[in-house]
Amino acid sequence: MPSNNKIECQRTDIVSPEKRSEMMSKVRSKDSIAEKKVRSALHAAGYRTHR
């Protein structure tokens, strides 16, 4: 019979809300340099992807 033991974990944010906002504002949703390189390599290898 399976047990219903759950482990609960709480994460405490280590940065302030202001710093988190600053960090997240620098994140772009698509077309980063790394993403373009990966997409280009996949395309060259014959894979066709959609954004």
Q: Domain for residue 38, yes or no?
A: yes
Q: Domain for residue 33, yes or no?
A: yes
Q: Domain for residue 48, yes or no?
A: yes
Digit-coded pLDDT (tens) for 9-19: 777 789 999 99
Q: Domain for residue 43, yes or no?
A: yes
Q: Domain for residue 37, yes or no?
A: yes
Report pLDDT for 2: 58
Burial class (CB in 10 A: 0-12, 13-18, 19+), 13: exposed
Report pLDDT for 42: 92
Structure tokens at 7: 């482990």
Digit-coded pLDDT (tens) for 29-43: 778 888 889 989 999
Structurally, how many domains does the chain consist of?
Answer: 1
Domain range spanning residue 51? 17-51
Q: Domain for residue 9, yes or no?
A: no
